[in-house]
Amino acid sequence: MSQNVLVTGCGRSYALGYNLALRYLESGDTVAASVRKPSPELEQLREKYGDKLIILTMDIGDTASVNAAAEALAAKTDHLDLIINNAVTTSPDVGKGFFDANLDYIARAIDVAAVGPMRVIKAFYPLLKKSAGTGLIMNISSEAGSISKCYRTNMIDYGMSKAALNMATMNLANTFKDDPQINIFCVHPGWIRTDGKPDNPAPLSSYEAAGILKDLFEQRREDKTGHRFITNRGEDYPF
């Protein structure tokens, strides 16, 4: 059965969000794809898929912007079946270690990458609640957000923001525990060539990764009791 899907951060054709949107469009689903600024790549997809693709302008670091996007979507569709929180940001100092990084950048990264998905869930929840089945929330996290597996001395803002996103996921899993109509996970999506660079050694293209994730999401839609942090292979990952 076709579904209505929201994917955040879809403006770049080589990155994951765009390819998730594309995979769902290819399956005949309706996709609300968010961008911060006009994306010629996404506009091209709209020429092909017409009304099946709804392009939303939304800055997930700005509650008013997220609420306005939710209102705009509610004017076009009566429900959502899946929310994929994919958008992310990192600071200019993401590659630096503790003594070199400007620590004042960290709060903004967390505000976008961890609080942003919560803003999205809150604003779009009324539409998700109207799904005829189980409304699913998939927060795209990272192995870098695992506290127990942390080995890095750089990527402090990124790791902290994904750890915070994982905590948000658990808190919301508790919030929705007794609601059989809502389910939520955080997912490490695999190592992916999301920068579109041919010399990137990551094994998966964004299109391949999106296909794997799409299958995984359907497998886990009704799983309310399993571990909440999973990999693209469906394995439990330690928080």
Ligand X SMILES: NC(=O)c1ccc[n+]([C@@H]2O[C@H](COP(=O)([O-])OP(=O)(O)OC[C@H]3O[C@@H](n4cnc5c(N)ncnc54)[C@H](OP(=O)(O)O)[C@@H]3O)[C@@H](O)[C@H]2O)c1
The residues, any chain, with a CB within 8 Å of residue 163's CB and separated by 6 or more, are 145, 146, 147
Helices (H) and strands (E) in the chain, counts: 7, 7
- Closest separation between CB of residue 133 and ligand X, Å? 25
Looking at the Cβ atoms of 10 and 25, the one nearer to ligand X is 10
Q: Structure tokens of 132?
A: 């005829």
Residue pair 134/181 in contact by the 8 Å Cβ criterion: yes
- Give contact residues for ligand X (rule: CB under 6 A): 8-9, 11-12, 15-17, 36-37, 58-61, 86-89, 112, 140, 142, 188-189, 191-192, 194, 202
Looking at the Cβ atoms of 12 and 23, the one nearer to ligand X is 12
127 burial level (CB within 10 Å; 0-12, 13-18, 19+): buried
- Closest separation between CB of residue 212 and ligand X, Å? 13
- Cα separation, 144 vs 142, in Å, equals 5
Looking at the Cβ atoms of 30 and 86, the one nearer to ligand X is 86
Looking at the Cβ atoms of 60 and 123, the one nearer to ligand X is 60
- Closest separation between CB of residue 2 and ligand X, Å? 24
Looking at the Cβ atoms of 37 and 99, the one nearer to ligand X is 37
Residue pair 190/199 in contact by the 8 Å Cβ criterion: no
Alpha helices in the chain (DSSP H): 16-26, 40-49, 63-74, 106-110, 116-128, 156-175, 206-220
- Cα separation, 29 vs 169, in Å, equals 25
- Closest separation between CB of residue 174 and ligand X, Å? 23
- Closest separation between CB of residue 180 and ligand X, Å? 28
Q: Tell me which residue has its CB nearest to ligand X.
A: 9
- Closest separation between CB of residue 129 and ligand X, Å? 23
Looking at the Cβ atoms of 9 and 135, the one nearer to ligand X is 9
- Closest separation between CB of residue 187 and ligand X, Å? 9
Main-chain dihedrals φ then ψ at residue 186, nearest 5 degrees: -115, 140
Q: Among 118, 214, 218, 123, which residue's Cα sits nearest to residue 173?
A: 118
Looking at the Cβ atoms of 38 and 180, the one nearer to ligand X is 38
Angle of helix 16-26 relative to helix 206-220, nearest 10 degrees, comes to 60
